[in-house]
Structure 1
Amino acid sequence: MTRKKLCYLLTFIAYFGMPLGIPFIKSAEPYILGLPFLLFWMVLWIFLGTGLMIIVHRINPSAKEETE
């Protein structure tokens, strides 16, 4: 897999990770770290999305051309 395709895949995962999981959450009853599951899911994807975008920025070939 080329770096460009990997960047697109990681961006797709980061963008659709949060909204695609929400319909499968049946209730807010289970608590994780003191948060209702839906709130925990959204906060988790904020951090995961940020981490994925950092990875995309570091492996993106066009970003390396701009900095050099």
Structure 2
Amino acid sequence: MRPIHLLSLIPICGVLVAPFFLNQVKPFILGMPFMLGWYSLMLVATSIIMACIYFSDKASGAHASDAAEGERK
């Protein structure tokens, strides 16, 4: 496992651990109660983080060997 894969722990902690510390109604985020806004933010952050991990692996050539194995010569 590469160190960049540790970024995937951010959304997990954001969804599972943060509500214990951030459980409040005010302030509002875009008109939503704070926790609903927080979960919406984590949804977007998860997508961005997973895209960064994917493109980082792709740039390092980790997926090149998988594609080469699937091809028959």
* TM-score normalised by structure 1 residue count: 0.77
Structure 1 residues 4-32: Cα deviation after superposition (integer angstroms, max 9, x where no partner): 1122x111113222221100124212211
**Residue 28 of structure 1 contacts residue 38 of structure 1 at CA under 8 Å; is this kept in 2?**
yes
Equivalenced residues, count: 65
Unaligned stretches of 5+ residues in structure 2: 69-73
Q: How is 1:11-50 mapped onto 2 (pairs within 5 angstroms)?
A: 11-50=8-47
The code of the aligned residue for 1:53 comes to M
**Structure 1 position 41, deviation (Å):** 0.3
The code of the aligned residue for 1:55 comes to C
**Structure 1 position 64, deviation (Å):** 4.4
Structure 1 residues 10-63: Cα deviation after superposition (integer angstroms, max 9, x where no partner): 111132222211001242122111000000000000000110000000112423
Q: Which runs of 4+ in 1 moved over 4 A?
A: none
The code of the aligned residue for 2:65 comes to E
CA RMSD of aligned residues (A): 2.0
The structure with more helix, counted as a fraction of residues: 1
* TM-score normalised by structure 2 residue count: 0.72
Unaligned stretches of 5+ residues in structure 1: none
